Amino acid sequence: MTSASTVPQASAALIGESVRLPNAAGLHARPAAMLVAEAKKFQSIIRLLRDGEEVNAKSVVAIMGLGTQQGDAIQVKATGSDAEDAVRALSALLAQGCGEAHEATHEVAPTPPVALVAASTSFVSSNVLVGVCASPGLAVGRVVQFRQVTIDVNECGETPALERGKLDAALLAAADQIELLKLGLGDPLGVKILHAHLALLQDPDLLELADHGVSQNQSAGLAWREAFGQTASRLEALPGAHNALLRERGNDVRDVGRRVLALLAGVSTAQIELPAGAILIADELTPSDTAALDRSKLLGFCTTGGGATSHVAILARSFGIPAVCGIHEGALTLAQGTLVVLDGAQGRLSHSLEEGEITLALAEVAQQTAQREQDKLGSAHAAVTTDGQRIEVVANVRNAQEAQEGVALGAEGVGLLRSEFLFDDRLTAPDEDEQAAAYCAVAQALGPQRTLVVRTLDVGGDKPLPYLPLPREDNPFLGLRGVRVSLDQPEMFRAQLRAILRATGLARLHIMFPMIATLEELREARGILAEEAAATGHSDFLVGVMIEVPSAALLAEQLAREADFFSIGSNDLTQYTMAMDRGHPKLARQADALHPAVLKMIALTCEGARRHSKWVGVCGGMASDLLAVPVLLGLGVQELSVSVPAIPAIKALVRRLSLADCQALAQELLQLGTAGEVRARLAAFAP
């Protein structure tokens, strides 16, 4: 493993066009691993260039060490027999976001279903240790302290050849362990993280560092410890706040490093043993520690290190358990078995509580669990308000599997099929047959009685596709985005429409266009759809408009004359109404969908639709927010398209609401001045 790879024939270096990185957090572990996997398919020596710096494109740690940021201009340089193909493929992959363009920019952090989130609790005492929320939820359990064991190594080795052999064997054994862990982990994100760990085990820069130590007569253990220690420290020392994510990737390098080191030293890194009802407290937890935890016994965890972006936090969210990172050091001194309350949403760990406080917390956990179970029990029934208004609760999905999960939880259909997920993470567009198979699979999962709303391709600007030759734009959010891309690329648009139309009859087919800003756009898109429908003999479908920009809300009455329904994309409608980027680290919190300005846009939309007896749905994150549902109903929204786990709770809430009360509430809220005032009034509105 540590031996030198084949050196390609000497030839002139080829340098590609510069590519602007779309990744919100730069090239951190996962995109770097994907880039390296692609680079390794080529014989050529490949380097990444940025501002005069140059690193090995086949080394994850070298790429991470570059400390890239979103928007950085990167060039690919290759030398060797397949240099041209390498430059082309890697430049395209970089432009595409190395597998995460959408992950980074697309989803507004969903409001977790209320049942998982602790409300502001009344049991907090002065014995509270504070950190940051890594994963929401509330748990009462007993402290289990965990510390990494120190692994000692011999300093001097035998011959370099023998030490090299030991290191190679440990690297192979570590890869086997990680593969095993991957098998036991259903969560795709966790699998991706472990995949990045596997790439680290083959990282040429890391291996070269270790090999250098071995050739200086160091033992394999010492050489390896120095190599991964130096690499991790370099990542952790990267300057600038934007590199928090990269610094945390030092944790990944240490994690993999310790695994190999333990194998070299013959120390067991067995799974952390947990008693039932455990709340784990550690200074650091490596991602593989976390992945290997017994989830049937773990209620939550706290770490003094790390942050909300760490892999550990990501894993906790996918497990659905509360976690707090960066907790006060005092947590490390709590005795084993101490009874504590962990409030993930508030980032608090409370200890030394009075019996009454524990009782209160336990009651709250029990109430949340019971509520969740009860919501699930009733989720197959329709969502009808106490005064008889039927609200259709449907799901936001990306594929047939999610559609099935939605139906199992009571979704009455799909209100938003994000078709763009078929188009990203690849180097060429899916053809008509491939698309048709995917749309038909979703439709079949629903059946002819259920609604399927397919959104046509919603990419461009901030969500580039490598195979779409779109110009670089200064203001991508105001550029070629949504339906504008489809109108700019009519052949691709027509192929998508033909593919969608093939799902006619398998479900109640609806087709909607994203980011319509003008009537002309709707007419043009509808015209093309009509031509394709006529050519293929399909007519049984409805046509909708996503209301995502203020001009569409202001033109709702005119649009409603020519569309069959509206679906409000509240994520975009909020950012365009407030002129605040929905992903901006400082502004995103103020870009609040409950701002009265956004509510007025929704009111205008509903009013325009009502004049022509058309229905209005909401498919942005706001529809999954229990706080927002009463005002949406009161403004006239009749369909809520929500994240799959939120379906039971949203349906249950609708059943507790009176439409008349919601209407009165909505009128009141439209008069308020700030999002804070709206939120306060909504919090006091108990159905």
Of 107, 85, 141, the C-alpha closest to 24 is: 107
Instruction: Say if CB 302 and CB 331 are below 8 A apart.
Output: yes
Tokens for 151?
Answer: 């692994």
Instruction: Please report, as residue ranges, which positions from 523 to 552 form the binding site for ligand PEP (by CB under 6 A).
Output: 548
Closer residue to ligand PEP (CB): 99 or 583: 583
Show the binding pattern over residues 160-189: x = contacts ligand PEP (CB under 6 A), - = does not: ------------------------------
Q: How far apart are CA 295 and CA 195, in angstroms?
A: 21
φ and ψ of 40, to 5 deg: -70, -10
User: In sequence order, what are the beta bridge partners of 343?
Assistant: 138, 348
Q: How far is the CB of 634 from Mg ion (least distance, A)?
A: 23
The stretch near ligand PEP (CB under 6 A) out of 48-56, 255-263, 549-557, 567-575 is: 567-575
Question: Which DSSP state fits 623?
Answer: G
Near ligand PEP by CB under 6 A, which window of 194-202, 407-415, 570-578, 660-668? 570-578
The interface partner of residue 635, options being ligand PEP, Mg ion, none and the CB cut-off 5 to 8 Å by kind, is: none
- Binder of ligand PEP out of 620, 636, 645, 648 (CB under 6 A): 620
The amino acid at residue 280 is L
- Is 572 a residue that touches ligand PEP (CB under 6 A)? yes
Q: Which stretch binds Mg ion (CB under 5 A): 340-348, 359-367, 544-552, 678-686?
A: 544-552
The one catalytic residue among 98, 606, 619, 662: 619
Q: Catalytic residue at 662?
A: no
At 648, the amino acid letter reads P
CA 506 to each of CA 403, 414, 444, 450: distance values in angstroms, whole numbers, following the listed order: 14, 13, 6, 9
Q: What is the CA radius of gyration of the chain?
A: 27
DSSP 579: T
590: three-class secondary structure by DSSP: coil
83 to 112: interface string for ligand PEP, x by CB under 6 A: -----------------------x------
Contact residue for ligand PEP among 203, 424, 458, 462 (CB under 6 A): 458
Count of residues engaged in binding Mg ion, rule: CB under 5 A: 3
Closest contact distance (angstroms) between CB of 642 and ligand PEP is: 11
Nearer to ligand PEP, 504 or 577 (CB): 577
Write the CA distances from 216 to 201, 213, 665, integer angstroms.
21, 5, 76
Does 462 bind ligand PEP (CB under 6 A)? Our answer is no
Taking the C-alpha atoms of residue 127 and residue 140, their distance in angstroms, rounded to an integer, is: 15
Angle between helices 400-408 and 432-446 in degrees, nearest 10: 10
Cβ distance to Mg ion smaller for residue 214 or 555? 555
Interaction between residue 571 and ligand PEP (CB under 6 A):
yes
Using rule CB under 5 A, residue 375 touches Mg ion:
no
The 3-state DSSP class for residue 53 equals strand
Size of the site for ligand PEP (CB under 6 A): 10
Which pair of tokens denotes residue 388?
């008889």
The amino acid sitting at 529 is L
Stretch that binds Mg ion, among 30-38, 447-455, 562-570, 586-594 (CB under 5 A): 562-570
Catalytically annotated residue among 28, 106, 197, 311: 311
How many residues appear in the chain? 687
CB of 375 to ligand PEP, least distance (A): 23
d(C-alpha 325, C-alpha 310), whole Å: 9
Residue 328 known to be catalytic: no
Least separation, in Å, of the C-beta of 569 and ligand PEP? Answer: 3
- Binding flag, residue 569, Mg ion (CB under 5 A): yes
Query: One symbol per residue from 398 to 437: x for binding ligand PEP (CB under 6 A), - otherwise; what is it?
Result: ------------------x---------------------
Residue 678 near residue 594, CB atoms below 8 Å: yes
Q: Between 286 and 570, whose beta carbon lies closer to Mg ion?
A: 570
| Least distance between ligand PEP and beta carbon 542 (Å) | 18
Pick one of Mg ion, ligand PEP, none as the site partner of residue 619 (Cβ within 5 to 8 A by kind).
ligand PEP
Query: Cβ contacts of residue 107 below 8 Å, gap of 6+?
Result: none
For residue 570, the partner it binds in ligand PEP, Mg ion, none, with Cβ less than 5 to 8 A by kind, is ligand PEP
Residues 6+ apart with CB under 8 A from 333: none
Tell me the DSSP string of 395-410: EEESSHHHHHHHHHTT
Residue from 178, 206, 457, 619 touching ligand PEP (CB under 6 A): that is 619
Task: State the DSSP string of 321-353.
Answer: --EEES--GGGGGSPTT-EEEEETTTTEEE-S-
Q: How far is 565 from 14, CA to CA, in rounded Å?
A: 52
Choose one: 325-333, 423-431, 496-504, 569-577; the region binding ligand PEP (CB under 6 A): 569-577
Interface contacts to Mg ion, rule CB under 5 A: 548, 569, 572
Active site residues: 311, 619
Interface contacts to ligand PEP, rule CB under 6 A: 106, 416, 458, 548, 569-572, 619-620
